[in-house]
Amino acid sequence: MTDETIPSLRERVILVTGAGSGLGRASAHACAARGATVILLGRTTRKLEQVYDEITAAGHPQPAIFPMDLEKAADHDFDTLAQTIGYQLRRLDGIIHCAAEFEPPSPLGLQSVEAWQRLYKVNVIAPFAIDRACLPLLAAAPDASVVLVGESHGHQPAAYWGGFAVAKAALEAYFRIQAAEWAGSANLRVNLVIPGPINSPQRARSHPGEDKARLPGLGSLAGELAGLMSAGGRGQLIEWQPPD
Ligand SMILES: NC(=O)c1ccc[n+]([C@@H]2O[C@H](COP(=O)([O-])OP(=O)(O)OC[C@H]3O[C@@H](n4cnc5c(N)ncnc54)[C@H](OP(=O)(O)O)[C@@H]3O)[C@@H](O)[C@H]2O)c1
């Protein structure tokens, strides 16, 4: 799908998690450039403010900022997020879940319970809890779209990927359950996108010695995620391939 064929996101409100860096930042830009009002959610306010400034400087709709530590968030925090969106923006048309916790690969014998809990909380529980809290807003939208971002080692676990792969596998299980529950809905869609290697901050940590110049940049994948906000898949697991 090219930029020209992606329908406008004007009038839509899109929540992007992990919006302060990497794929989340690129996705926020891609949605804003298509006319969406973007809610920038992330842990570090300074990074969110920078993305806010970039989007407004580009002349796109004024975004909103919602700093939130997904590792520490409890039920009432997710409810507050949904209530704030409803009160301030009156609608929610889509969510792109890019926030992710990562631990460098290591043997299972060296992995801690604390790290596994952190990985599970940010990578699995948070997307579920955000979707659940925001469901009334999504259900009221004419065409609501949720995108989850998976990882190839969650799809096909391998040695040393430990708690990160287990959490991403659980995210895939959550995706299948949510897709099945929304299969009969006229206005609720969820898709899971597995990026493969992309030149993003997480990749720099998982493959530190790699030549980053050989990796696809974030722009075209972010455009694909923005495109899914208004058209395309329903219950699809998309193993993303960069355009030739
Ligand atoms: N890079 C690849 O090759 C690749 C391949 C396959 C899949 N993916 C997936 O693509 C997604 C994005 O990757 P990326 O490299 O763009 O990631 P990234 O730049 O490392 O960004 C992760 C984001 O998540 C936020 N985050 C982390 N912990 C958080 C918490 N407790 N509360 C709130 N926000 C939190 C971070 O915010 P702060 O910066 O403020 O901490 C950051 O903005 C991930 O799901 C990743 O697994 C990447």
Q: Could you tell me the two tokens for 10? A: 């004007």
Query: Cα angle vertex 131, ends 130, 132, to 5°?
Result: 90
Q: What is the pLDDT of residues 22-65, one digit of tens each?
A: 999 999 999 999 999 999 999 999 999 999 999 999 999 999 99
pLDDT given for residue 73 in this prediction: 98
**Phi, psi dihedral angles at 66 (to 5 degrees):** -135, 90
Q: What is the pLDDT of residues 157-170, one digit of tens each?
A: 999 999 999 999 99
Domain span holding position 231: 8-239
pLDDT given for residue 174 in this prediction: 98
Looking at every residue in the chain, the average pLDDT score rounds to 94
Q: Which residue has the higher pLDDT, 213 or 138?
A: 138
Question: Does 80 reside within a domain?
Answer: yes
Share of the chain above pLDDT 90, in %: 85
Atom index in ligand 1 nearest the CA of residue 19 equals 43
Q: What is the pTM of this model?
A: 0.96
- Exposed / middle / buried, residue 97 (Cβ in 10 Å: 0-12, 13-18, 19+): buried
How many angstroms separate the alpha carbon of residue 14 from the centre of ligand 1? Answer: 18
Q: What is the CATH classification number for the domain harbouring 173?
A: 3.40.50.720
pLDDT tier at 199, thresholds 50, 70, 90: confident
How many angstroms separate the alpha carbon of residue 55 from the centre of ligand 1? Answer: 20
Q: Which residue has the higher pLDDT, 140 or 3?
A: 140
Mean pLDDT confidence for 223-234: 92
pLDDT given for residue 78 in this prediction: 98
pLDDT tier at 2, thresholds 50, 70, 90: very low
Question: Does 244 reside within a domain?
Answer: no
3-class DSSP assignment, residue 108: helix
Question: Does 174 reside within a domain?
Answer: yes
Our mutation pick for probing the ligand 1 site, out of 16, 17, 23, 49, counting the most ligand atoms within 8 A of Cβ, is 23
Question: Does 99 reside within a domain?
Answer: yes
C-alpha distances out from residue 44 to 37, 51, 176, 186, Å: 20, 11, 31, 36
Share of the chain above pLDDT 70, in %: 98
pLDDT tier at 211, thresholds 50, 70, 90: confident
Per the structure, how many domains does the chain have? Answer: 1
Question: Does 87 reside within a domain?
Answer: yes
How many angstroms separate the alpha carbon of residue 18 from the centre of ligand 1? Answer: 6
pLDDT tier at 203, thresholds 50, 70, 90: confident
Question: Does 1 reside within a domain?
Answer: no
CB 41 within 8 A of CB 16: yes
Q: What is the pLDDT of residues 67-118, one digit of tens each?
A: 999 999 999 999 999 999 999 999 999 999 999 999 999 999 999 999 999 9
How many angstroms separate the alpha carbon of residue 22 from the centre of ligand 1? Answer: 7
Question: Does 184 reside within a domain?
Answer: yes
Question: Does 84 reside within a domain?
Answer: yes
What one-character-per-residue DSSP string does 167-226 give? HHHHHHHHHHHHHHHTTT-SSEEEEEEE--S-SSHHHHHHSTTS-GGGS--SHHHHHHHH
